[in-house]
Amino acid sequence: MVGVAGAESRGDPVLGETPSGSLACIKIHIIMEVLRPQLIKIGGRVYRKNPIQEQTYQHEEEDDDYYQGLVECAEEPCETYEVVQTPQGFRCTVKAPSLLYKHIVGKRGDTRKKLEVETKTSISIPKPGQEGEIVITGQHRSGVVSARTRIDVLLLTFRRKQPFTHFLAFFLNEAEVQERFLKFQEEVLEKCSMDHGVDSSIFQNPKKLHLTIGMLVLLSEQEIQQTCEMLQQCKEEFIDDISGGKPLEVEMSGIEYMNDDPGMVDVLYAKVHMKDGSNRLQELVDRVLERFQASGLIVKEWNSVKLHATVMNTLFRKDPNAEGRYNLYTADGKYIFKERESFDGRNILKLFENFYFGTLKLNSIHISQRFTVDSFGNYASCGQIDFS
């Protein structure tokens, strides 16, 4: 895969993946969250999320404990919310997917009760499985705004703990590239199979070759539609100008590895660049990334997309359907650590440094769904824009 939001590993953790090694990686992660707490941007203001009981948010019943750690970092209310004055006081609504309601309710409703008591408001939440809006009412505007701010912090925090569901990507599975990829795999196994960790299980499925622009957490049909609309806006505002209304002709050639030790590689990728030597592809994907980050659909962690297409990944060794690193937490907030067996890539890098995978015409950006394939064996697409 291609990252920012798409790189499987760079030696250092990428988008939540720990590099192969020991459990020391987890300890470092915990320490760094204490020393450098996560910052959450809401409505133009930045709030600090103080970790409380790190690695214990495994069950819904612990949400109310977690809420305590958010109170002090959401004390200063944001004034950008739309609050409507009513005969009874003030009212504000929050749009959120039903999957996240439980984190606002908490065990036995404790989280909602604490919010209501501390902000002197009443909070109405749709029943589980029902889409709708969270409605906050109160006699004082400041209390309504404070409740909204705290709810937003909770929603954003638990959204970040959801597994990625979709990703923006170019497909790189044209027939010529698939054939050349299989040739690459055949020659690597023929010449380097005696090297530590090198076997057929760690190669990418040629039908799934792709270049990722960014990872997404889309929890409802409305959010998928919002993503489609955002992508269409990108096309109209700058993609057409950059592409000239034509497919981008690129070349997929040369290999590189993610970390800093060629003797212990977890991800090997093919480089992708414009055939005419221009920077148009990089400019296009960076601007798409920037737009989606600004909208909140993609969490801002990098400023630029690393253009690459994964050809070997040690996560595939145990799970052929693995899709990279992507989240440190499961849907219920449980921390994930995947130990992996690295491979010695020194001979591969020496023998195949300039391997040519082929040329492609990139004409579409897809909203691809993880863990779901179409009739051709590629990732299923929930929507797309075409350049021509």
* Tokens representing residue 331 in the block: 């849907």
Closest by CA position to 323, among listed 304, 303, 338, 302: 338
Assign 3-state DSSP to the chain and report helix, strand, coil percentages, each to 5.
Answer: 35, 25, 35
For 341-372, what is each residue's pLDDT tens digit?
Answer: 999 999 999 999 999 999 999 999 999 999 88
For 161-182, what is each residue's pLDDT tens digit?
Answer: 889 999 999 999 999 999 999 9
Averages of pLDDT over each 10 residues, the chain, 388 residues = 39 36 44 51 54 41 50 53 92 93 93 96 90 94 95 91 94 95 98 97 96 93 94 97 97 94 96 96 97 87 90 88 53 57 97 97 96 88 95
Q: Which residues of 357-385 are buried (b: 16+ CB within 10 A; e: fewer)?
A: bbebebbebbbbbbeeeeeeebbbbbbbb
Q: How far, in Å, CA of 184 to CA of 199, rounded?
A: 13
Per-domain residue ranges of the chain: 84-161, 166-386
Residue 348: the pLDDT is: 98
The CATH number of the structural domain formed by 84-161 is 3.30.1370.10
Architecture of the 166-386 domain: Alpha-Beta Complex (3.90)
* Amino acid at the residue 373: V
CA dihedral angle for residue 160, residue 166, residue 170, residue 176, rounded to 10 degrees = 130
Q: Which residues of 84-121 are buried (b: 16+ CB within 10 A; e: fewer)?
A: eeeeebbbbbbebbbbbbbbbbbeeeebbebbbeebeb
This prediction has a pTM of: 0.74
Comparing 84-161 with 166-386, is the CATH topology the same?
Answer: no
* Amino acid at the residue 65: D
